[in-house]
Amino acid sequence: MNKIAWITGASSGIGRAVALRLADEGWQVAASARSTDKLAELEALRPGRILSFPVDVTQQDAVAATVAEIEDRMGPLDLALFSAGSYKRDSATCFQGKDLAEVMTLNVIGTGYCLDAVIPKMVARRAGHIAVVASVAGYVGLPGGAFYGATKAALINLCEGLYPELEKEGVRLTVINPGFVETPLTQKNDFPMPFLIGVDEAAESIVKGLKSGRFEIIFPWKMAVAIKLLNALPRPLLFMITRKMLRR
């Protein structure tokens, strides 16, 4: 029997790479994003294996309708992987609350709407796997990444809170915390990105991790160790290090 996966943020980056990887492993993949053109290109790469379902995840009714359409056309979801997200560099001296709201709306609220659409269905079936793409940036606040990091910290916390309840209801939940991955988002960065990896390597780590049953998938391991050590430091020592990251 074919397994059915729904992936948001599938038009580029990690979502796209995971969609292709799962399709190559025999999954039927419902790919969602706002860009209909990019989804059509993705669908053409794996005809019959990937079907496009354009949607803006910040529109709750549209998300619910999309999930209903996917399950009507393809069958019950075995996996829902939420990778839609955005990044906007911030600055304390040019703080824009609207920019924070914009990033929070897509990264957190949009993910919430997706969870709202799939959790009741999976709980009713006592089956299914949800995976949320957060980031190692959610472990510690870094200059220039306060907005993005705050959204990813929220997602990590959200998943930790939901995990025991969903486990009790027969639904698996995984949080995915990548380090720096070569994607359109990281191409915006004009600073050094330690332990940068390719998107195909990231997809391999994710798919392998999803099979493992672990709650957290974090990679690459060098970045995982570095960020967790940084988070464990006393705050005066942490700020001594992060001050060195300030722009001149």
Q: Which residues are catalytic?
A: 148
Contact in structure between 63 and 117 (CB atoms under 8 Å): yes
Burial class (CB in 10 A: 0-12, 13-18, 19+), 121: middle
User: What's the CA angle centered on 231, arms 226 and 236, to 5 degrees?
Assistant: 115
Contact in structure between 57 and 114 (CB atoms under 8 Å): yes
Spatial CA neighbour of 147 closest among 74, 221, 96, 223 = 96
Query: Across-strand partners of 175?
Result: 132, 216
| Token pair listed for 135 | 């980031």
